[in-house]
Amino acid sequence: MVLSFFFNKSYLKKLQGRKESGEADAKNKKEGFGDTAMTAMFIGLVSAYMGSYIGSFVSGKGMFTFQGDITPIIVAVVSALVMAVFTYFAEKKHMVWLESFSIAGSMLIGMIAAVLI
């Protein structure tokens, strides 16, 4: 919060160059790097967490002992599979309305999987 108070404006201003080029690219209907960078950052963020779940299971209780908690991995996999089903129906069966419920539905089923394990 404190960092946000002091640096939000100046930090975003520093990124302004990218913002302006992003707007220009959007106008030109050409994909700019700003959008790719944002997606990449998010993929990096998700990968950091996914890696930590695998690392915790494999080496969490001693290196390569496979004695750690496997629940987060199973939950993530179940959630991803349910998301795949939602995406299939939304894209292939044209049930676009499902998209609004896909994340919430996948999360709920993933969490139910955690209870059932």
Partner 1 sequence: MENKIYNDDSSREEFIEKYDKGTHFIGRLSTAVCTVLFCGAPFVIGIYLGAMPDLSAAAKGYLSVGLVWTVSSVVEFLVYTPMLGAGGGYLAFITGNLINMKIPCAMNAREIAGTKSGTTENEIISTLSIAASSLVTILILAGGVMLLIPLQPILQSEALQPAFENVVPALFGAMAYQYYRKNLKLALVPLVIMTILYLFVPSLTSQTSLMILPSGALTIGLAYLSWKKKSGKEGRS
Closest distance to partner 1 from the beta carbon of 113 (Å): 8
Q: How many H helices and E strands in the chain?
A: 5, 0
Label residue 64 left, alpha or beta by phi (over 0 means left) and psi (-120 to 50 means alpha): left
Closer Cβ to partner 1, 87 or 89, answer by number: 87
Instruction: For residue 98, give every residue at least 6 positions away whose Cβ sits within 8 Å of its Cβ, in sequence order, or none.
Output: 86, 89, 90
Identity of the residue, 5 or 93, whose beta carbon is nearer to partner 1 in the bound complex: 5
Q: Of the two residues 64 and 93, which places its CB atom closer to partner 1 in the complex?
A: 64
Nearest-approach distance from CB 76 to partner 1, in angstroms:
3
- Tell me if 82 sits within 8 A of 101, measured CB to CB: no
Task: Output 4 or 93, the one with its CB closest to partner 1.
Answer: 4
Tell me the closest approach of the beta carbon of residue 65 to partner 1, in angstroms.
10
Q: Considering the complex, what minimum distance in angstroms separates the CB of residue 88 from partner 1?
A: 11
Q: What gap in Å lies between CA 95 and CA 91, rounded to an integer?
A: 7
